[in-house]
């Protein structure tokens, strides 16, 4: 069971292979992907009647670039914090993506949809450019050339900041510039102290929370960083990510098999079902404002679950992806 995945997992212990296996993360090496992801989060926020003009935005797990956060800045945010466990993003890739994002917003391009990025969720009912959120007036202000240059400057100042210990992480967090735009990239982040408590309006993540090892501590940190009434917008892919022939086959692996599959990778999947996320969101003082689940009944049945997952609800077993928007109680 999962033999080829076990072999790959064990191979990550070989010198150099672990790093090679985890060199890239997914979609944010494409400006169009970043544009699509940010606009989807913005549309979902708008549909729930929350504030689509967050000033301070944080992202968990930006991956190959901080392009999705740059899209947030180009639509009016002033501060962006990126938190990853591995520093995948680099200045040149970020700059290239930034220039393409500027064109996409200037031209009000439609949101790249299922034909181009079949794997991105949540699915929207319309892929038209969301003029009801990003009016010409709002974009004229956000895309004024001097502001675009400020974002570019902040980007160059920020990337490459790769705090290696708690002391300089804290120092990096305290750095301030004279410009209105601020970007901070924390990779790796180990400590919730990197961001001031109650300072963030919106936190988002795309395909990240299924990978986070310390889910409890992370939801606590998200709560701590948000202002009262601030909100978080997450897309979570609960599938096996190709580590089984069944979309939910990762829940059939024993602890030992899973340990071998994970090998020496810095992160893989935490294998938690949606109910764990839901419980943590509610336990940590959030109200769920919107929840979009996509079910899939084609996977393994209950009798094939590993003993560790015997407690799964019927819903857990079939919930494949979730988009969840939750607000910190004021």
Ligand X SMILES: C[S@@+](CC[C@H](N)C(=O)[O-])C[C@H]1O[C@@H](n2cnc3c(N)ncnc32)[C@H](O)[C@@H]1O
Which H or E run includes 79? strand 79-83
For 78, phi then psi, to 5°, come to: -110, -25
Residues 215-244 that bind ligand X (CB under 6 A): 218
Binding of residue 40 to ligand X (CB under 6 A): no
Among 12, 28, 158, 319, the residue binding ligand X under the rule CB under 6 A is 28
Give min distance, CB of 303 to ligand X, in A: 30
Among 50, 73, 83, 124, the residue binding ligand X under the rule CB under 6 A is 83
3-class SS at 175?
Answer: coil
Among 50, 77, 85, 236, the residue binding ligand X under the rule CB under 6 A is 85
| 161, 188 Cβ separation under 8 angstroms | no
Question: What is the C-alpha R_g of the chain?
Answer: 20
Binding of residue 257 to ligand X (CB under 6 A): no
Among 267, 293, 294, 304, the residue binding ligand X under the rule CB under 6 A is 267
Binding of residue 60 to ligand X (CB under 6 A): yes
Among 2, 9, 27, 163, the residue binding ligand X under the rule CB under 6 A is 27
Give min distance, CB of 140 to ligand X, in A: 29
Residues in the chain: 330
Binding of residue 184 to ligand X (CB under 6 A): no
67 Cα distance to chain centroid: 11
Residues 6 or more apart whose CB falls under 8 angstroms from that of 330 comprise 228, 229
Among 208, 280, 300, 305, the residue binding ligand X under the rule CB under 6 A is 208
Among 2, 9, 63, 69, the residue binding ligand X under the rule CB under 6 A is 63
Binding of residue 268 to ligand X (CB under 6 A): no
Q: Which residue pairs from 309-313 have beta carbons closer than 8 angstroms and sit at least 24 positions apart in sequence? A: 309/251, 309/271, 309/273, 312/251, 312/273, 312/275, 313/273, 313/275
Of the ranges 110-118, 170-178, 205-213, 293-301, which one interacts with ligand X (CB under 6 A)? 205-213
Q: What CA–CA distance (Å, rounded) separates 263 from 243? A: 13
Residues 6 or more apart whose CB falls under 8 angstroms from that of 165 comprise none
Q: Which residue has the tokens 């990239």?
A: 185
Pick the closer one to ligand X by CB: 239 or 290.
239
Binding of residue 62 to ligand X (CB under 6 A): yes
Q: Which residue has the tokens 């956060």?
A: 69
Binding of residue 211 to ligand X (CB under 6 A): yes
Pick the closer one to ligand X by CB: 147 or 224.
224
| 273, 22 Cβ separation under 8 angstroms | no
Binding of residue 212 to ligand X (CB under 6 A): yes
Of the ranges 56-64, 172-180, 249-257, 290-298, which one interacts with ligand X (CB under 6 A)? 56-64
Binding of residue 25 to ligand X (CB under 6 A): yes
Closest C-alpha to 207, from 28, 17, 77, 20: 28
Q: Which two tokens stand for residue 157?
A: 């100042």
Pick the closer one to ligand X by CB: 166 or 287.
166
Binding site residues, ligand X, CB under 6 A: 25-28, 37, 60-63, 83-86, 88, 206-208, 211-212, 218, 267
């Amino acid at each position: 069971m999962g033999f080829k995945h076990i072999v790959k997992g064990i191979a990550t212990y070989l010198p150099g292979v672990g790093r090679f296996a985890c060199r890239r993360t997914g979609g944010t090496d494409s400006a169009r992907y970043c544009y699509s992801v940010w606009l989807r989060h913005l549309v979902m926020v708008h549909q729930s009647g929350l504030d689509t003009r967050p000033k301070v935005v944080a992202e968990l797990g930006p991956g190959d670039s901080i392009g999705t956060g740059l899209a947030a800045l180009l639509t009016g945010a002033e501060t962006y914090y990126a938190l990853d466990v591995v520093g995948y993003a680099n200045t040149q890739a970020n700059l290239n993506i930034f220039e393409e994002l500027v064109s996409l917003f200037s031209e009000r391009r439609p949101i790249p949809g299922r034909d181009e990025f079949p794997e991105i969720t949540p699915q929207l009912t319309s892929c038209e450019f969301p003029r009801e959120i990003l009016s010409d007036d709002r974009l004229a202000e956000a895309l004024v050339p001097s502001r675009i240059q400020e974002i570019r400057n902040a980007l160059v100042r920020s990337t490459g900041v790769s705090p290696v210990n708690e002391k300089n992480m804290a120092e990096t967090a305290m750095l301030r510039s004279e410009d209105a735009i601020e970007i901070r990239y924390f990779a790796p982040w180990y400590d919730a102290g990197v961001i001031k408590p109650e300072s963030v309006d919106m936190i988002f993540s795309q395909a990240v929370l299924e990978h986070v090892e310390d889910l409890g501590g992370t939801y606590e940190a998200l709560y701590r960083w948000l202002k009262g009434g601030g909100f978080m917008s997450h897309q979570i892919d609960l599938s096996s990510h190709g580590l089984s022939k069944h979309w939910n086959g990762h829940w059939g692996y024993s602890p030992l098999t899973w340990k071998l599959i994970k090998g020496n990778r810095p992160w893989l999947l935490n294998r938690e079902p949606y109910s764990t996320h839901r419980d943590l969101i509610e336990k940590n003082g959030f109200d769920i404002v919107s929840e979009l689940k996509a079910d899939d009944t084609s996977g393994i049945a209950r009798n094939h679950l590993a003993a560790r997952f015997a407690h799964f609800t019927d819903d857990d077993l079939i919930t494949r992806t979730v988009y969840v928007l939750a607000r910190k109680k004021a």
